[in-house]
């Protein structure tokens, strides 16, 4: 907090107070057009779930390399009126034609940043073999069928209008369009934008280069697709004309995904995974989503007086970094699709395991983790409505595959890149299998009352960022905006990564303790937290400055 001298304090005190009405509903997301879509639906009488669905549909229009109808995601919903509290798992599955050995001969190694696997022909990230069964639309439809308020078709109107009228390429979209992931063993995004005729027409300039900041994108084909789903429901995507178009394109180009895969896909309604932290209850999605990572870190960190260490001090960062590494190592060893490998949640979240981890940290034993940060190919939404319903959604394309079936206007995911091409491993390919995802839309409770919700895009950094934001809220008493924007650090490898606003003296302190460090050039780094607090019933939102969105309220 800034310290004002006495004259400044007197001047402030003499000004007439400006009393703004308290917001009754709030939504935050990384895209301004999507926030507008969600607010429009709230104004029309929709509840938080309706608003999140409308926002997500708009995100698929204006952030087409991050998310969309061809993607996957996880949604958490709490409704104090009905008592409903559930997680909708819309994570994708391997097509039935997938086989554990299908990519083995083409395997060349793991991506250097730990996010995916390198094939000689990159077929697991670009093209039709890369596509898994999209799950996000099925999850949104199923959730709406149980808890939505407005008619399904009404939720599509803002996204359809934006697709027809067009939108401007924003800074983060421009950065993704021009992203070159060659240093990580993956292809530049220009290859994915230009892979299909539709992608070249929509997202590239006449010279074939990706569109740039301020260029306009209009997508009437996507508007038509959205209108069809609005009229006929999600069945149009999974069983109707859209499914037929996807399946025909796959069959013509050697893809794995079939019409039967689409017809047989079902989202899952699950109970949240909950842990306590200093008297609060933290509800996160269970495996194969990423809530276990956040939950385990909180169980370990609860055993330390973090405030006494000092915010982002060398000692504070060292303790948190060790918790990150322990939780990351346990995740890699134990967490996969529960249908294939049952996760030992009671052990991982039990007192004995947390006590042992804390004792290890206090003894100065260093954990080792060879995996490095994953890139951010994801987006998020959090919303609270006037009746107290809380909804948080994170969804993604995984990696965009570049595949855009003719006339449909959207890109399909490239999530086969997440599966290990080597047979016999926890993450190996198998028909119907889901892979671990870091996505973790989160809700915090004080007794029965929800008091905060947050989520983040950002690959393996999601759990890192959500946990630090939770510590900022619950240990340090920060507001949501301050908690989302505060400098972060990351330990998803044997190096502690620091955002550029972590003081250099603190970095020197870590180095003096024997830690290897790396400074990011970014002022705001390591995922992008967006969230809302509801302390004493008053809504306060936060939007990470590294993205283009904001907090909207009514």
CA distances to 2, 49, 135, 266, 393 from 139, rounded to whole Å, are: 45, 12, 6, 8, 11
Query: What confidence tens digit (pLDDT) does each residue in 369-383 have?
Result: 765 444 457 899 999
* Pairwise CA distance, residues 199 & 411, whole Å: 8
Beta bridge partners of 378: 396
* Pairwise CA distance, residues 154 & 159, whole Å: 10
What is residue 2's DSSP assignment? P
Query: What confidence tens digit (pLDDT) does each residue in 130-188 have?
Result: 999 999 999 999 999 999 999 999 999 999 999 999 999 999 999 999 998 888 788 99
- Backbone torsions φ then ψ of 535, nearest 5 degrees: -60, 130
Instruction: Supply 75's token pair.
Output: 């949604």
Q: What pLDDT, on a 0 to 100 scale, did the predictor assign at position 2? A: 37
pLDDT value at 339 more than 70: yes
* Burial class of 277 by CB neighbour count within 10 A (0 to 12, 13 to 18, 19+): buried
Alpha-carbon torsion, ordered 1, 29, 63, 393, to 10 deg: 130
Q: In this structure, are residues 280 and 98 in contact, taking their beta carbons and an 8 Å threshold?
A: no
Instruction: Supply 69's token pair.
Output: 């109808």
Query: What band does 410 get if pLDDT is binned at 50, 70 and 90?
Result: very high
Beta bridge partners of 391: 77, 383
Residues annotated as part of the active site: 378
- Backbone torsions φ then ψ of 75, nearest 5 degrees: -125, 135
Secondary structure string (H, E, C) spanning 450-488:
EEEEEECCCCCHHHHHHHHHHHHHHCCCCCHHHHHHCCC
Q: In this structure, are residues 431 and 96 in contact, taking their beta carbons and an 8 Å threshold?
A: yes
Q: How far apart are the first and last CA of the chain?
A: 28
* Helix ranges restricted to H, 185-313: 189-193, 197-203, 220-232, 235-238, 241-252, 259-264, 291-301, 306-309
Helix, strand or coil, per DSSP, at residue 79: strand
Query: What confidence tens digit (pLDDT) does each residue in 186-200 have?
Result: 899 999 999 999 999
- Report the mean per-residue pLDDT for the chain: 93
Q: What pLDDT, on a 0 to 100 scale, did the predictor assign at position 17? A: 60
Lowest mean pLDDT among 372-376, 415-419, 423-427: 372-376
Q: What pLDDT, on a 0 to 100 scale, did the predictor assign at position 152? A: 98
């Amino acid at each position: 907090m800034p310290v004002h001298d006495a004259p400044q304090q007197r001047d402030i005190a003499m000004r007439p107070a400006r009393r703004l009405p308290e917001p009754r509903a709030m939504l935050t997301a990384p895209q301004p057009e999507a926030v507008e879509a969600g607010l429009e639906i709230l104004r029309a009488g929709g509840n938080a779930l309706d608003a999140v669905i409308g926002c997500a549909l708009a995100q698929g229009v204006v952030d087409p390399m991050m998310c969309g109808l061809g993607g996957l995601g996880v949604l958490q919903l709490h409704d104090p009126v009905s008592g409903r509290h559930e997680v909708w798992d819309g994570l994708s599955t391997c097509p039935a034609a997938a086989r554990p050995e299908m990519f083995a001969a083409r395997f060349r190694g793991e991506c250097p940043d730990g996010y995916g696997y390198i094939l000689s022909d990159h077929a697991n990230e670009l093209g039709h073999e890369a596509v898994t069964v999209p799950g996000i639309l099925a999850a949104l439809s199923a959730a709406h069928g149980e808890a939505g308020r407005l008619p399904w078709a009404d939720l599509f109107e803002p996204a359809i209008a934006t697709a027809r009228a067009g939108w401007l390429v924003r800074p983060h979209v421009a950065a993704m369009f021009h992203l070159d992931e060659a240093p990580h063993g993956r292809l530049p995004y220009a290859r994915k934008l230009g892979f299909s005729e539709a992608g070249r027409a929509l997202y590239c300039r006449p010279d074939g280069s990706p569109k740039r900041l301020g260029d306009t994108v209009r997508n009437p084909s996507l508007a038509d697709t959205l209108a069809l789903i609005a009229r006929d429901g999600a069945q149009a995507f999974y069983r109707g004309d859209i499914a037929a178009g996807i399946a025909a394109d796959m069959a013509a180009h050697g893809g794995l995904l079939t019409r039967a895969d689409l017809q047989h896909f079902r989202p899952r309604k699950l109970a949240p995974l909950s842990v306590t932290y200093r008297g609060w209850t933290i509800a996160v999605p269970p495996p194969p989503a990423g809530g276990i990572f956040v939950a385990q870190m909180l169980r370990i960190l609860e055993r330390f007086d973090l405030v006494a260490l000092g915010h982002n001090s060398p000692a504070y960062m060292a303790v948190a970094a060790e918790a990150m590494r322990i939780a990351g190592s346990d995740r890699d060893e134990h967490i996969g699709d529960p249908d294939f490998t049952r996760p030992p949640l009671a052990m991982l979240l039990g007192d004995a395991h947390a006590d042992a981890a804390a004792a290890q940290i206090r003894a100065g034993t260093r954990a080792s983790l060879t995996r490095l940060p994953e890139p951010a190919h994801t987006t998020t939404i959090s919303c609270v409505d006037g009746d107290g319903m809380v909804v948080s959604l994170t969804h993604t394309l995984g990696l965009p595959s570049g595949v855009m079936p003719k006339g449909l206007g959207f890109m399909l995911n490239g999530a086969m890149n997440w599966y290990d091409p080597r047979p016999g491993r926890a993450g190996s390919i198998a028909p119907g299998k889901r892979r671990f995802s870091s996505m973790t839309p989160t809700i915090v409770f004080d007794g029965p009352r929800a008091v905060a919700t947050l989520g983040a895009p950002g690959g393996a950094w999601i759990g890192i960022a959500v946990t630090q934001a939770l510590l900022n809220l619950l240990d340090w008493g920060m507001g949501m905006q301050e908690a989302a924007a505060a400098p972060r650090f990351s330990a998803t490898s044997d190096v502690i990564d620091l955002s550029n606003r972590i003081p250099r003296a603190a970095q020197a302190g870590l180095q003096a303790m024997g830690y290897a460090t790396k400074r990011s050039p970014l002022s705001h780094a390591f995922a992008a937290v967006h969230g809302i607090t509801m302390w004493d019933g008053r809504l306060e939102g936060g939007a990470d400055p590294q993205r283009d969105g904001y907090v909207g309220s009514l």
